[in-house]
Structures are given as structure tokens and as C-alpha cells.
Amino acid sequence: MENDNYYIITVSEPNITSFSFAFIIVMTSIIFLNFFVFLFAIILSIGIAFISSGFLIDFNNKKLKKFTNIYGFYLGKWEDLPEIKYVSVVRVKQSRYSNQVQDGTGINQVSSNNSSYRVNLIFDEKDRKYMTLISTSREKALNEAMRIGDAFDIKVLDFSTPDRNWIR
């Protein structure tokens, strides 16, 4: 589907949860011992297991489609993109807290800090200031931002470090 005119940004990919759900459907159909139910469950499970979503960008016509991909069909509606001022890559800190019981001595609160990086399209509109396309690793976010910047011939701001440099 990707060529010079279209660019796909996948937000969610198939994961273990969807595979588990698909497995449960298949196993339930086996219990009923009905071949047609089993066949239907297999077909349904394959579709569920490989559902993904994301954005499809049409560079030539400046349109964007938020899609859900099922069986290779990109379902969604095309929208006109507002005028894009620039693309930014932003670091987002993610904190998680959990309580752990320690050998009868009490509860210990454990925290973990991770960062993800978002690619945002920054618009010059009152109603819609920005749109987040993807949240991922820094390297992938910078690559996605540069690709979009090159395609639309706009600036790219690396807002993921304290320096906050224009990289395109």
C-alpha cells in the first residue's frame, strides 16, 4: 500500500491479547464440534488477530485517513489536512507506580520512569492546534518526522532534548 503518494504510520500492531482472544474463539468452536462453526471461528480469529490501526497520509492531495486495517482493507474516512506549520518530536515521560508486599514488613511503592516520543503535526488553526500521529522510540519518531517534513517541505522541530533544535 505504501508508495510515493501514500505513507502509512501504524499506531497499533497485532499483539498477544488479540491472539489470545482469537485462540479462545477457536477453542470454543472446537468444543461444539461443529465444522462450520469451527471454520467461521478460524476466519474470524485470523481477522481479529491481525487488526491494526494508524494513519494513511496522501502527500499529493494533502489528505489524512485514520484507519483500521482488517484483512488488508484500510477502513476509514479521508480528511483534508489543515495547513501544517511544522512537525515536532516531543519526549513524554511515563511514570508507573505499583505497590508490592514485602515479606510481611509492609507495602513498598515502586516506581518506574520510561519515555516515549510523539510525532505531532502542528497546525495554524484556532480550533485544532496539533495532532499526534504516533508514540514510539526516539529514533523511529525522528525518522517519521523527517519523512513527513520532506514530503510536505516543512520544518521539523526536535523537542525531545533540552536543546530543542530545528533539524529540518
CB 45 within 8 A of CB 14: no
| Long-range Cβ pairs for the range 135-142 (8 Å, 24+) | 135/11, 135/92, 138/89, 138/91, 141/89, 141/117, 142/89, 142/117, 142/167
- What is the count of structural domains for the chain? 2
Is residue 80 classed as helix, strand or coil in its secondary structure? strand
Using alpha carbons, select from 67, 68, 97 the residue that is nearest to residue 79: 67
Is residue 23 classed as helix, strand or coil in its secondary structure? helix
- The CA-based angle 79-85-88, given to 5 degrees, is 95
pTM of the model: 0.65
- Same domain? For 132 and 160 the reply is yes
157 or 51, which is more confident? 157
Question: Could you read off the pLDDT of 102-120 as tens digits, one per residue?
Answer: 655 656 655 566 788 989 9
CA R_g for the chain = 21
- Same domain? For 75 and 92 the reply is no
What pLDDT is attached to residue 146?
A: 92
Q: Whole domain around residue 121: which residue ranges? A: 84-166
Show which of 24, 54, 80 is a domain's final residue.
80
Within a domain: 152: yes
Question: Could you read off the pLDDT of 128-154 as tens digits, one per residue?
Answer: 788 888 888 889 889 989 988 998 899
- Quick check: 77 pLDDT over 80? yes
What pLDDT is attached to residue 98?
A: 61
Among 7-11, 46-50, 69-73, the range scoring the smallest mean pLDDT is 7-11
Can you list the alpha helix ranges (DSSP code H) found in the chain? 16-32, 35-49, 138-152
Q: How remote is the C-alpha of 116 from its chain's centroid?
A: 12
